[in-house]
Structure 1
């Protein structure tokens, strides 16, 4: 299956294969979006067909939903699933604390909702995604179309107080028109080069009127699986994630 693939795709496939080994029968699984998540959905589809693996998936974009259907994976909405056992997704960057930048494909809003509604998030990536400090990859910020330029100005003003190395704010385009997310919103890509305090920046951005969500994933990822071009895969774990004081699953007391 991997003989004709590029080293980059071999690395993504290696990480995807390792990640889907964590999926067990009966699980509710968040399905990420992007070039690496594509391989994960493909590998999961193979397990469903060849092993009869009984799982349901919650896709994070219309693209992933279409692929999952083609692979024979049963999909449901997050509202139907309510809470997930596991989410597997890619990342544009991850730092030593496993904080992430996501959203290169424009799906970070749904990806963040799904990931935080999961007991565990596994990120699959190739070695190029590992960085000492986030910020080399432009940070996506999803905004509503109404008052978009006012929102841009507020973001630019707020960035003056942040520990970043650059402050360029660019509207993401699709041809001659603004890129439109699955929710009908637009995206500003923030070229910051280096983010000194990702947590503070994330909180600041989400306070700006017009901002829907940003692509910083802080304290959400539990494990990173790094695939290599020779087919190897290494796993890096971090400590337990604490989302809620009494129970991670906010629906735990409601029954199935």
Structure 2
């Protein structure tokens, strides 16, 4: 059974919020206008993804972060260590719910009628919208999985490099905005390549949990990020070794350990 996921959100507010977000996050924050959202990430100095999130600009000096995995309270506490004398306030909001809404243009943002922190917020995702609201559902999860939008399980936070989850394709990382944590690693991987694991959509013949390690002949060949039970099978986003993907393209379906049959459906570059 697919269970609705909670909405973990936090606010960045204050005169220095734009500069703070630009310096800490890996996306093109300065290009984000009011009532728009973009994918973004917070990386550690090794270039590992600490958090992946929707970054929405509510006002000139106010941003809302919707985390795709992880805890808003934990992220808020970690971010506060870098505030120093900046005029920025970081607040983890009480968990709410996520639900699917009507189609809205990609990157658009619609706030609820109350206009305050308790009002609904809708993130335009083209074929649908992702809503922060009081009653949740999971109808948004399958289209986002099929589009290759990862949701990061707890065990993967702080472990993955951006190419493994296709963050440049999502414009969650950029190489031309100056310094931010992990920027040198991002640039090196972009210009020199060399990362040997990437993001794929697959079907699995057996149930799996987010964070599960996939093995073939007792070798770690990948990691499940998100999995959804459909009528006849299990669709998943997984990070897979490039070498294994080449083998899967030759034979279509691979048999993994524990007799798990895996079929490759889609692949995304870094």
Where on the TM-score scale, by shorter chain, does this alignment land: which range?
Answer: under 0.3
Q: TM-score, normalised by structure 1?
A: 0.26
Query: Which has the larger strand fraction?
Result: 2
Query: Which has the larger helix fraction?
Result: 1
The structure showing larger relative contact order (alpha-carbon pairs under 8 Å, at least 6 residues apart) is 1
